[in-house]
Structure 1
């Protein structure tokens, strides 16, 4: 049958990214303990298309993804997936992004009751022919924040809110990326208090008082997160944004920051 996609295009426009998006597949994500966690991933998978080609072969993206969805996945497997895309689609560059919910175990601070906290996570890989993959890990971490100003001016109590810190990190070539569990713990520690899916009364008392003794503005949380990320060995780039879902206003408080860290600075 005629292959229209492989026909020549004369408009002289190379397309930077073409492929498939909003693909939903179960994937196996490697965990810190050496096992894996099954997740439902939302995927975007693209390659660069030279100006002389009319189109790419969309079916090949799914043909590549299906076998990889059955293998525990981390950086090494992401790079192999992209190398396969470069070869099978005759491309000079390829990108893949997986968005998924990842669950980490939490123990309540006093009762020690166990529960699972879901985190929004992203694996993003970019690769050019002959170059190492650029891998980015993204994690959205919720916690509690308590307003220092409210505490300072009130006779009793202080308003608090649920906050979320969205972090994306990359590491220099040859340096392994941090595990999801470790990055989440590092970010969570910068809030006023952690969030737990399951709390008994004694836990609720502990968390409430812990937040009250650790008040932070959104700017405080952001700056403390920046300092924590700077301390990571081998980090090359990070982006942070923190958002407080304000409890006494009809708007949110927001702060963001990004940095590129040259090799040798860490």
Structure 2
């Protein structure tokens, strides 16, 4: 297994896999209301891939193309969502949990982020 110790094999690459993002937000009451659909649409746009439950055969190639064009580690996805929530003045606090359901490893990759406000969400 010489390939295991080769320098060329030591670079990490994101790869296609199923992922789950769970987010919780606290919204400031006095600002423009936010719906769950607004939140989902914003997250999909930020990550570059739409949420998919069941995909028709005709749409499968486009989902695969979008996923391949937006490969990222779970930490990258969590950072992107953090940037989105930090830039939205309606959001006072957030909890982000991104999990990649690993196909190559015996464990899943997980990243969690909170805003860090006193008395707010914690990891």
Please state how far the C-alpha of 1:185 moved relative to its aligned partner: 1.6
TM-score (structure 1 length as normaliser) = 0.36
Q: Equivalent of 1:204, from 53, 60, 70? A: 60
Q: Equivalent of 1:178, from 18, 34, 39? A: 34
Q: Equivalent of 2:98, from 236, 242, 245? A: 242
Distance 2:72 2:41 in 1: 18
Aligned partner of 2:114 in structure 1 is 258
Q: What is the total number of aligned residue pairs between the two structures?
A: 107
> SS of the counterpart of 1:232?
coil
Alignment CA distance shift 1:169-1:195 (3 Å) = closer
Q: Which runs of 5+ in 2 are unaligned?
A: 1-11, 118-123
Distance 2:55 2:28 in 1: 40
> SS of the counterpart of 1:244?
strand
Q: Equivalent of 2:13, from 124, 149, 152? A: 149
> SS of the counterpart of 1:194?
coil
Alignment CA distance shift 1:231-1:198 (3 Å) = same
Q: Which runs of 5+ in 1 are unaligned?
A: 1-147, 151-158, 262-266
Q: Deviations over 1:44-65 (max 9, x none)?
A: xxxxxxxxxxxxxxxxxxxxxx
Alignment CA distance shift 1:243-1:212 (3 Å) = same
Aligned partner of 1:233 in structure 2 is 89
Distance 2:48 2:17 in 1: 10
Please state how far the C-alpha of 1:178 moved relative to its aligned partner: 1.5
Please state how far the C-alpha of 1:199 moved relative to its aligned partner: 2.7
Say yes or no: does 1:216 pair with 2:80: no
Alignment CA distance shift 1:196-1:257 (3 Å) = closer
Larger radius of gyration: 1
Alignment CA distance shift 1:175-1:195 (3 Å) = closer
Report 1:1-266 matches (<5 A): 149-150=13-14, 159-191=15-47, 193-260=49-116
Q: Is the 8 A contact 1:237 1:258 kept in 2?
A: yes
RMSD: 2.3
> SS of the counterpart of 2:115?
strand
Higher relative contact order (CA 8 A, sep 6+): 2
Please say which of residues 198-207 and 212-221 is displaced more in the overlay: 198-207
